């Protein structure tokens, strides 16, 4: 949990009221001042520095990933934007037992009248952070001349965003125990894989008519490719049931052995939106990718691809085999706008489904890395957009952010071209 800027006083009062009366509510500003917890500060439109409390531990806080030099500059330079009238002094904070027993002060700020107020707090036992300044304004608001836009100020926004995203990923790791192969002797995983396989076969072959072209290419790569060489299949994305139904038309592909099952990247908002779905999809072991990044049901050329698949190829110590696949008819089986603009509750039937397997895409990764590295030397990077990505080691080269973008673009364009060629072929079959 985290609260930003003007919400910090409300968060503090919420906790104080909750601990005192076991109820939480958001009172009016009059009530806030009547309680004597908050008071007025002159910090409505000015940038300021952050003064870290002596010997404070920043682990688990917003600042844990900030570089030491940026932390130092936060204490000396005006890198954060203030835009609020209410706050709490450190003295009143410490004097309030409900607040001081729950929260720890991390930073303070000084307003235009040289009054000190609490600007960042963290809970002592819970993942709760509150900060009374605007980390987002540095990079995304340009209406006020008071907002700092220096390279350091932009970094503050980026590291703050990274922290909030990391919290989201921590929340997304719920039920990791269900993904372990030894969870309940592996029975839940085998059950899920069996059920998913049966569902895919039923939808593909009983409810609909599925025809697969060039299936032997995929089956050969699955069963007898060189040891230690990864296989990545990529395809267009026409419906939320593309995977697993598209595999139901392959005879002998859907194995009941969890160790032979494929992996697939899944949309968190669909597959992990509640505890039941999270458990089911954690126990499954499904790497197939949809590099377009979302469902497209229009019969149009393959769109610009996301860089995720390219990143997998670039980071893999052994160049993987990348196999393109195009499928058609899945938009009719599971249309996005079927009834009042919503998907049907179950797959439709009596549809003609077609899956076309292409030939492996040839990647000379060392050559592409060399080309990307050379091309990046000629790209001018604006001062406020200096490289912030971690350096990537690939094919003996150290690639900065610009070089990585050049490499990912080249890899993605090659996959896109192969998918488009296969899409045109599938239309003629």
pLDDT digits (tens, 9 = 90+) for 233-249: 999 999 999 988 999 99
Assign 228 a pLDDT band (cuts: 50, 70, 90).
Answer: confident
Query: Which of these ranges, 12-21, 218-227, 291-300, has the smallest mean pLDDT?
Result: 12-21
Q: Of 84, 134, 288, 327, which residue is the catalytic one?
A: 134
Residue 281: the pLDDT is 59
pLDDT at 397 over 80: yes
Q: What's the pTM?
A: 0.60
For 301-332, the pLDDT digits (tens) are 999 999 989 999 998 889 999 999 999 999 99
Q: Are strands 116-123 and 129-131 parallel, antiparallel or unpaired?
A: antiparallel
Give the torsion sign (CA, 256, 257, 263, 267): positive
Residue 272: the pLDDT is 59
pLDDT: is 265 or 124 the higher one? 124
User: Strand, helix or coil at 109?
Assistant: strand
Whether 149 is catalytic: no
pLDDT: is 404 or 165 the higher one? 404
Closest CA to 132 of 72, 84, 63, 71: 84
Q: Of 5, 109, 207, 406, which residue is the catalytic one?
A: 5
CB neighbour class for 276 (10 Å; exposed up to 12, middle 13-18, buried from 19):
exposed
Whether 5 is catalytic: yes
Residue 42: the pLDDT is 92
Closest CA to 13 of 42, 44, 34: 34
């Amino acid at each position: 949990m985290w609260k930003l800027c003007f919400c910090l006083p409300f968060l503090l009062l919420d906790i104080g009221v909750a601990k005192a009366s076991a109820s939480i509510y958001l009172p009016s500003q009059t009530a806030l001042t009547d309680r004597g917890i908050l008071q007025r500060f002159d910090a409505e439109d000015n940038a300021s520095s952050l003064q870290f409390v002596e010997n404070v531990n920043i682990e688990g806080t917003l600042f844990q990933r900030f570089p030491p030099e940026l932390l130092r500059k936060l204490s000396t330079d005006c890198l954060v934007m203030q835009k609020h009238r209410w706050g709490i002094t450190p003295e009143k904070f410490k004097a309030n037992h409900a607040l001081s027993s729950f929260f720890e002060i991390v930073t303070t700020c000084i307003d235009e009248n040289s009054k000190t107020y609490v600007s960042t707090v963290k809970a002592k036992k819970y993942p709760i952070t509150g900060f009374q300044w605007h980390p987002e304004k540095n990079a995304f608001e340009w209406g006020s001349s008071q907002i700092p836009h220096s390279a350091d100020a932009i970094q503050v926004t980026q590291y703050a965003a990274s922290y909030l995203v990391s919290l989201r990923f921590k929340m997304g790791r719920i039920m990791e125990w269900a993904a372990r192969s030894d969870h309940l002797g592996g029975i839940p995983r085998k059950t899920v894989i069996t059920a998913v396989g049966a569902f895919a076969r039923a939808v593909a072959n009983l409810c609909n008519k599925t025809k697969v072209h060039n299936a032997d290419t995929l089956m050969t790569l699955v069963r007898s490719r060189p040891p230690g060489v990864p296989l990545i299949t990529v395809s267009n994305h026409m419906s939320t049931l593309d995977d697993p139904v598209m595999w139901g038309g392959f005879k002998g592909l859907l194995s009941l052995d969890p160790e032979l099952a494929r992996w697939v990247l899944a949309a968190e908002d669909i597959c992990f939106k509640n505890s039941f779905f999270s458990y089911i999809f954690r126990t499954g072991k499904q790497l197939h990718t949809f590099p377009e990044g979302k469902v497209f049901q229009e019969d149009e050329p393959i769109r610009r691809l996301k860089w995720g698949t390219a990143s997998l190829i670039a980071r893999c110590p052994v160049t993987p085999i990348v196999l393109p696949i195009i499928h058609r008819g899945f938009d009719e089986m599971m249309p996005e706008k079927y009834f009042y603009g919503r998907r049907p509750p179950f797959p439709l039937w009596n549809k003609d489904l077609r899956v076309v397997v292409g030939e492996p895409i040839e990647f000379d990764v060392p050559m592409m890395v060399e080309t990307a590295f050379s091309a990046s030397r000629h790209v001018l990077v604006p001062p406020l957009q200096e490289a912030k990505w971690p350096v990537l080691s690939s094919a003996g080269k150290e690639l900065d952010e610009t070089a990585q973008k050049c490499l990912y673009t080249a890899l993605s364009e090659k996959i896109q071209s192969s998918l488009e060629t296969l899409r045109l072929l599938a239309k003629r079959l």
